[in-house]
Amino acid sequence: MSIIIDNETKTIVQGITGRNASLHTKFMLEYGTKIAGGVTPGKGGQEVEGVRVYDTIHQCMEEHPDAAVSSIWVPPRFAKDAILEAVDAGIKTVIVITECIPIHDMLYARQKAKEKGVVVIGGNTPGVISPGKALVGMLPRITFKPGRIGTVARSGAVTYYLANSLNLAGFGESTSVGLGGDPILGANYEDILRLFENDPGTDAVVMAGEIGGVYEELAAPFIEHMSKPVIAYITGKAAPQGKRLGHAGAIIEGNMGTAKSKIEALQKHGAILAETLSEIPVLIKRALEGRTKHEKA
């Protein structure tokens, strides 16, 4: 099993004729992702890598009503409209690759999606991959291997390193989710933790956070109610106040969003904290062995 996408999921690429979108459409198809169609207003009837382009997502859905996921690659000023169009068309999950989306645009789009029960991942997400099944986004496919450990992180680079650490230790990933680096996100850590908790193909979850924002603190209480071990890793411990680390959202403001506050909240609610990436597989093995002994007892 996996979450969000699998080998049967049909997806749409919004902004498919753009340079990055067309390149990664090729990579997604090569990986086995089922792409129902692409959307670029004014370019309907064209093809990208053999994928038909439509003027609107509604036109695409008329011919592919079973499409459940859309990835958005349009420029920031068009992202809100693209998300709203996908939501209105009946898409269930929207994966927003676009970065630097205006804050008020994302707040509005997120609320409308929530009202319709649509999951929005991003903006500024590297994507989602269920290894061996499907890839939506720009995650490097060579980095991931099929397995039973779920991962969720804001940073694309950290997502790659998590997978590499797991793979070297003989583990693999059920699904890896990049939440995104923009200040305002759609799905948060708790949303993804809930999906992993209910996924029979996931045995444990690795949750990687970073300085800035309060998404990790908000998710921490849910960990207490999970039956699966959660290993947490926080980057940016040495960053001074006001220092930005790569992402628009990775900045400490006042006493909120510090590595210390996140670590304390996660530990308080039962997460297992890793000091280094290489320590994560050791903690997973220990946690799974402990759970097995407890179940036998």
Domain at 98, CATH number = 3.40.50.720
Q: How far apart are CA 4 and CA 34, in angstroms?
A: 14
Indicate the range of 137-151, 177-191, 206-220, 268-282 predicted with least confidence: 206-220
pLDDT digits (tens, 9 = 90+) for 269-297: 999 999 999 999 999 999 999 776 556 55
In a domain, 76, yes or no: yes
The yes-or-no answer on residue 225 being catalytic is no
Same domain, 116 and 157: no
Same domain, 214 and 289: yes
Same domain, 78 and 209: no
Q: How far apart are CA 57 and CA 90, in angstroms?
A: 10
Q: 10 Å Cβ neighbour count for 21?
A: 23
Choice among 64, 247, 269, 294 that is catalytic: 247
Domain enclosing residue 52, as ranges: 10-121
pLDDT digits (tens, 9 = 90+) for 87-131: 999 999 999 999 999 999 999 999 999 999 999 999 999 999 999
3-state secondary structure of 221: helix
End of a domain among 86, 121, 156? 121
Same domain, 163 and 291: yes
Which residue shows structure tokens 């402990």? 290
Query: How many domains are contained in the chain?
Result: 2
Q: In what order do the strands lie in the sheet with 204-210?
A: 134-137, 127-130, 173-178, 146-153, 204-210, 230-235, 272-273
In a domain, 279, yes or no: yes
